[in-house]
Amino acid sequence: ESEPGSTTIASLLLMLSFAVLGASTALLAGASAPAGANGVVRPRAAVLLAEAAATTDEQKASGISWDSHQYVDQAPESLIRDDDLQGANQDMRRRFEENCRRAQNAICKAVSELDGAEFREDVWTRPGGGGGISRVLCNGNVFEKAGCSLSVVYGSMPQDALQSATSRGADRAKGYAPGERVPFFACGLSSVMHPRNPMAPTMHFNYRYFETDGGVWWFGGGSDITPAYLFEEDIAHFHQTYKDVCDTHDPEYYARFKKWADEYFTIKHRGETRGLGGIFFDDQNDRDPEAIFAFSKECLDSVVPAYLPLVAKHKDDSFTQQQKEWQLMRRGRYVEFNLVYDRGTVFGLKTGGRIESILMSLPETARWEYSHEPAAGSPEAEIMDAFKTPREWAK
C-alpha cells in the first residue's frame, strides 16, 4: 500500500503512457517534426514510430531482445558458453561468473537473515548463450525492496553505441573495420536495496567484466550509499570500508574512484548528487587482469560489512510521516538518475536486456512535490548541503 501522496513507479509509468498517448493524438492531428536531411517534413508521430522500429531492428541485429530469454527451473552450472575465439579469456569469464554467483549467494543470505523474508528467484537463459539469475525481496520486514541480479550477456553493438558506454573513450572497437558491429561478452552482478525506515540508507553496487571478440577487455564497478538523513558516522564507516580495500590494492584508488563516484552520480538537471557516493570505476585495463579481478572480488566481499550494520542500526528507529515523505522524495531523485543518466540502464535497454532485471533498481514507491524546499536548519536541509557539495568522509 502506498504512502499518502506517494506515487508507485508502476503508476508513474502509467501516467507517462497516458501523457504520451495524449501528446501523440495532438501530434497526429497536425504537428510535424523538423525537416529531415532530404527536406521532407514528417509528422512527429511517424518519427516516434520510426525510432521504435529502429530500436527493434537494433535488438534483432544484436542477437538478443527483450523477449528472447527463456525461463528455466534451475540455474545451469554455468551461463558461460564454450567459445573457441582467438584472444578470448575463457578462464576469466568463467571465474568472474563464479565469483558473482558466490557473492550473490552470500549477500542474499545475509540480507534474508536481517530481514526475515526470502528472495524470489528467476532464472533464464538465451538461445545464443548467457542468461541470468535475478533475486528480489519485496515487502519485507526491513526492506521494501531488495534486488541482486546476475547477468551474462553475449551480443553485438554498433561501434558508436559501444563507445558511448565508456566514460574515458576506451578503444572498444579495436580489430574491427569502421561501421562494423562489435560482438561482446559481459558479466556482472548488480544490486539495489531500499529499506523501509527513512533513517536507514539505500545502497547500490555493480561489478562487471567486459570483453569484445576483438580481444579488448575491461573491468568496471562500484558501491555507493544513498541516505535520506545524515548520520556522519554511518557514511564515514561505509567510505572507510572501501578506502581500506582500495588502499590494499593501490593507494591512489580511493581518491580517484571516490571523485569518479561523486561526478558520475550527479543529477545534472538538479545540481545535486543522488546520494553520498562511495567508489566508482570503469574501463579498468591498465594492469594485469588478475590484479583488477582481485580488487573487484574484495569490493564485492565488502558489501555486507560496509552496509548491513547501518541498516541493522536504524531499522527500528522511530520516524514521522513527514520524514517518510522526505525519504520518498529522495527516492524520486533516485528514479530520475537511473532513468535519465545511468549508463547501465541505457546499456541494458539498448542491448535488449530483460526489462524486469534492468528496472529492478527502482523503488516500489516514490514521491514528487512541486518546487519543494526543505526548511532552513532542518535535518533535510543539512543533508541537501551534502548532496550539493560533496565531502570527504574517510581518513
Catalytic residues: 204
Where do we find the cell 533498481?
361
Q: What is the DSSP string of 240-257?
A: HHHHHHHHHH-TTHHHHH
Q: CB–CB of 384/390 below 8 Å?
A: no
Question: Backbone phi, then psi, for 62, in 5-degree steps?
Answer: -75, -20
Residues 6 or more apart in contact with residue 245 via CB below 8 angstroms: 295, 298, 299, 302
Helices (H) and strands (E) in the chain, counts: 12, 12
Determine the Cα–Cα distance for residues 162 and 172; give it in Å rounded to an integer.
7
The region that residue 379 occupies, defined by phi over 0 for left and psi between -120 and 50 for alpha, beta otherwise, is alpha
Question: Backbone phi, then psi, for 251, in 5-degree steps?
Answer: -60, -15
Map residue 345 onto helix, strand or coil.
Answer: helix
**135 grid coordinates:** 533475486
Q: What single letter denotes the amino acid at residue 192?
A: V
Determine the Cα–Cα distance for residues 122 and 120; give it in Å rounded to an integer.
7
SS3 content of the chain, % helix, strand, coil (to 5): 45, 20, 35
What is the DSSP secondary structure assignment for residue 136, as one 8-state letter?
E
**172 grid coordinates:** 572498444
Burial (0-12, 13-18, 19+ Cβ within 10 Å), 4? exposed
